[in-house]
Amino acid sequence: MAFEGLASRLQNVFGKLRGKGKLTEDDVNEALREVRLALLEADVNFKVVKDFIAKIKERAIGQEVLKSFTPGMVVVDIVNKELTELMGGTQSKLAKANRPPTVVLMVGLQGAGKTTLTAKLAKLLQKQNHRPLLVACDIYRPAAIKQLEVLGEQIKAPVFTMGDQVNPVEIAKAGLQHAKDNGNDYVLVDTAGRLHIDEQLMDELKQINETLNPHEILLVVDAMTGQEAVNVADSFHKQLTITGVVLTKLDNDTRGGAALSVRAVTGCPIKFVGVGEKTDALEPFYPDRMASRILG
């Protein structure tokens, strides 16, 4: 499970606090010191931690809280609410065009999980009775097109390809037309990634963006890379104005720093999390449920 380390540390801190009955200001300060360390160890962005602790302190260290009947529980409740806010507050849903098709662009670094996400998202949409079309615009990574075709076959969703000798912008344009001609109400475009963010990658994505005018640009980042994922998200957002983040490989992320920082740093909501390699291993992201899971 994700967040194991953080969850067990926080549960420990708050378990002690809950068990105390009456609390003093020192008790709360001591607990928040431990929370701060736990968050930093979980690879949460330094400034995010600082602001988070300051907010909780402001709300938790007041006579009303300390004099309440169950001060430990009140403090935990405050932390729960602030954690939920930190991750975006409410669930942020996938965009839906007023006039279909809804166009969704998958962007991110190579290996982040874009191709896998394209298929996962298609499967999720199929379950909601939509008819997604997958468009293969990653012409650089060897076998990316084949991978999308294989996944499409698995989930029985159509995949639009033009091979790897055609400009991705042209493929994207033709793919959109194909969707319109065939009554597909979602167009999911898998784009190329690189090992690092570079100008060529961004130029290509900007061109596809201008051509398709997508309703949603989902940035796919590997949760296991922690702060690096947050930095990648920040850089992409500055250049491309992404509309949402998908954190992949959360099933292997024992720390949770990316999930806790990415919203606060970029302002972009996390829309989905990938929790495995299979096509059904995708979950909508619910900040409140995630906070409760962390706090136990």
**Residue whose token pair is 């999720």:** 124
Q: Which span (24-32, 114-122, 128-136, 236-244) binds ligand GDP, by CB under 6 A? A: 114-122
Contacts of 62 (CB under 8 A, 6+ apart): none
The binding track of 229-248 with respect to ligand GDP, each residue x by CB under 6 A or -, is -------------------x
Contacts of 222 (CB under 8 A, 6+ apart): 109, 111, 112, 113, 229, 247, 248, 249
* Residue closest to ligand GDP, measured at CB: 274
Residues 184-213 that bind ligand GDP (CB under 6 A): 193
Min dist CB 69 to ligand GDP, Å, is 43
Min dist CB 222 to ligand GDP, Å, is 8
Q: Is 110 annotated as a binding residue?
A: yes
The reply to whether 275 sits near ligand GDP by the rule CB under 6 A is yes
Q: Is 280 annotated as a binding residue?
A: no
The reply to whether 274 sits near ligand GDP by the rule CB under 6 A is yes
Q: Is 248 annotated as a binding residue?
A: yes
Identify residue 172 by its one-letter amino acid code.
A
Q: Is 243 annotated as a binding residue?
A: no
Could you say which of 252, 267, 292, 296 contacts ligand GDP (CB under 6 A)? 252
* Closer to ligand GDP by Cβ: residue 10 or 245: 245
The reply to whether 154 sits near ligand GDP by the rule CB under 6 A is no
CB 252 within 8 A of CB 54: no
CA 203 to chain centre: 23
The binding track of 56-95 with respect to ligand GDP, each residue x by CB under 6 A or -, is ----------------------------------------
Q: Which residues bind ligand GDP (CB under 6 A)?
A: 108, 110-116, 141, 193, 220, 248-249, 251-252, 274-277, 281
